[in-house]
């Protein structure tokens, strides 16, 4: 399935060069995360933020490829959160896999809560159910 991501640059090179904003995460967000982990007096060059943007996109591609390969072998069409966790662990990012599983677990709990409270609203309030 070919997606038109609406970002191909239409210059003489045709589809060769893809607009940066489509393949990279925003520099402001990346810079903020970097700043957060560094001491107050640290400075971050613009080039290092740009390099970090490139690295993160490569990280996403690297892990996603591994996860989607697993899905292909198991004849599943949808890459889910567990596939990502599995890929992280397989590729050596064990330290991330466990916090990810906990994050995913918490997300699912919130999801169930949210759906339950939505259903209560639809039924017309918080009164006891028959």
Partner 1 sequence: MRQAGAYSKLLCGGISRRTGPHSLPLARIKKIMKKSSEDVKMISGVAPIVFSKACELFIEELTRRSWNIAIDGKRRTLNKDDVASAVIATDLFDFLIDLVSNSHANLVAGECVASNTNVFDSIF
Binding to partner 1, residues 88-127 (CB under 8 A) = 88, 91-93, 95-96, 99-100, 103-104, 106-108, 110-111, 114-115, 118
Q: Which is nearer to partner 1, 11 or 126 (CB)?
A: 11
- Nearer residue to partner 1 within complex by CB, 6 or 127: 6
Rounded to whole angstroms, what are the CA distances from 3 to 7, 8, 55? 11, 11, 23
- Sign, CA dihedral 110-112-115-121, equals negative
Residue 63: count other Cβ atoms within 10 Å of its Cβ: 20
**Total of chain residues touching partner 1, rule CB under 8 A:** 75
Interaction between residue 51 and partner 1 (CB under 8 A): yes
């Amino acid at each position: 399935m070919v997606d038109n991501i609406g970002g191909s640059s239409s210059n003489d090179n045709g589809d060769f060069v893809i607009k940066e904003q489509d393949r990279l995460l925003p520099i402001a967000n990346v810079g903020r995360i970097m700043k957060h982990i560094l001491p107050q007096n640290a400075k971050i060059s613009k080039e290092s933020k740009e390099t970090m943007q490139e690295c993160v996109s490569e990280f996403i591609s690297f892990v996603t490829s591994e996860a989607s390969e697993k899905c292909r072998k198991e004849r599943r069409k949808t890459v889910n959160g567990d596939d990502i966790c599995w890929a992280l662990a397989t590729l050596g990012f064990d330290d991330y896999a466990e916090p990810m599983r906990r994050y995913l677990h918490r997300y699912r709990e919130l999801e169930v809560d949210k759906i339950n409270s939505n259903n209560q609203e639809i039924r017309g309030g918080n009164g006891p159910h028959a």
